[in-house]
Amino acid sequence: MEQKIAFIIPCYNESITIEKVVKDCRKAIPEADIYVYDNNSSDHTDEIARRAGAIVCYEHQQGKGNVVRTMFQEIQADCYIMLDGDDTNPPEFAPEMARLVLEEGADMVVGDRLSSTYFQENKRPFHNFGNTLVRGLINKLFESDIKDIMTGYRAFSYRFVKTFPILSKGFEIETEMTIHAVANNMAVRNVVTDYRDRPEGSESKLDTVSDGRKVLGTIFRLLRGYRPMFFFNILALILFVIGITMFKPVLKTYLLTGLVPQFPTLIVSCFVILAGILSFFTGLILNAVADKNRKDFEFRLQQVTFNKQLMDQMKKRS
């Protein structure tokens, strides 16, 4: 049975580039369905995409995360290839990414721009710095080896798409899906892809400061959820160090004079140390919850995989 491949392209005001992107996707994988999800564009992106041969759908809640949520819910395919509508992600790498999903069982394939032409093509130095910072932070905190965290060029398996709980509303969606895959031990592969900067007249929708802050917030939120023992132990250690540092001069004075003249300092230091103890035990409790969540997720994966196999058998019979 032929396996279905779907290009999924979230778009917001990409009239300059969307026609070329759709045609390049058709050239790369002729048998694939090409979906363009328009996110309240005001420049007729949807009309241009439809004329180019794409299946045009709409998501009216603003934000890339909202678009990805709707795409994942509505589209049925064996392999999903997501890329941006700004013509920065060459579709000629899509066949290899699809092969890794369909033939080698990868759950997510990351289009790695940072190992090729990204730093030469991208003229925004703060974006370059942010990509490097986020990649290093996630790989360190989650003990992974993802080459490009912020790329919108990815391929996904059916079971990844149908078990990924999307909470992000905006550009932090790439960070969320990366951490979800790594934390749940899903099969992740990297494919080095070229990157080309936006053509003249095409503007990035990414705000370096605002969206960068959201990305960092997402990292620490997911660290707390997926690795609570690590997160709360670090917090407990910080509180212990602060509490002991405040308590030492009080103890020294008491040992020398038998008096405790700094009662406010003593009280505050004790509360800080107590907060550290509470943080430690919070980590223990939430770690047990996270273990149960991982077990539940494995059962959901098995259920989705079984349902997919059942649907494929029914298609064969029909």
**Residue extents of the structural domains in the chain:** 5-226, 228-317
Taking each helix axis from N to C terminus, what angle separates 94-102 and 18-28, rounded to the nearest 10 degrees? 50
Taking each helix axis from N to C terminus, what angle separates 263-317 and 228-257, rounded to the nearest 10 degrees? 170
Amino acid (one-letter) located at 291: D
Ranges of H-type helices in 29-170: 45-52, 64-74, 94-102, 118-121, 125-141, 158-163
pLDDT tens across the length of the chain (318 residues): 578 999 999 999 999 999 999 999 999 999 999 999 999 999 999 999 999 999 999 999 999 999 999 999 999 999 999 999 999 899 999 999 999 999 999 999 999 988 876 766 565 655 667 677 888 888 888 888 888 888 999 999 999 999 999 988 888 899 999 999 999 999 999 999 988 876 766 666 666 667 678 888 888 888 999 999 999 999 999 999 999 999 999 989 888 888 888 888 999 999 999 999 999 999 999 999 999 999 999 998 899 988 888 888 887 777
Amino acid (one-letter) located at 99: R
Q: What is the pLDDT of residue 204?
A: 63
Residue showing tokens 């709707």:
70
The distance from CA 119 to its chain's CA centroid, rounded to whole angstroms, is 21
Contact 39, 67 (CB under 8 A): yes
Please tell me what DSSP assigns to residue 2.
Answer: P
Q: State whether residue 113 is helix, strand or coil.
A: coil
Ranges of H-type helices in 94-227: 94-102, 118-121, 125-141, 158-163, 173-183, 208-226
Q: What is the pLDDT of residue 190?
A: 94
Q: What is the pLDDT of residue 307?
A: 86
Contact 101, 94 (CB under 8 A): no
The distance from CA 127 to its chain's CA centroid, rounded to whole angstroms, is 17
Q: What is the pLDDT of residue 146?
A: 87
Contact 242, 272 (CB under 8 A): yes
Residue showing tokens 């020294």:
252
Amino acid (one-letter) located at 130: G
Fold observed for domain 5-226: Spore Coat Polysaccharide Biosynthesis Protein SpsA; Chain A (3.90.550)
pTM of the model: 0.83
Kindly report the three-state secondary structure assignment for every residue of 254-298.
Answer: HHHHCCCCCHHHHHHHHHHHHHHHHHHHHHHHHHHHHHHHHHHHH
Q: Which pair of tokens denotes residue 263?
A: 């009662």
Q: Is the dihedral of CA 18, 19, 22, 24 positive or negative?
A: negative
Q: For residue 109, what are the contacts with CB-CB under 8 A and spacing of at least 6?
A: 97, 100, 101, 154, 155, 156, 188, 189, 190, 191
Question: What is the H or E stretch that residue 11 is in?
Answer: strand 5-11
Residue 297, CB half-sphere, CA atoms under 13 Å: how many? 19
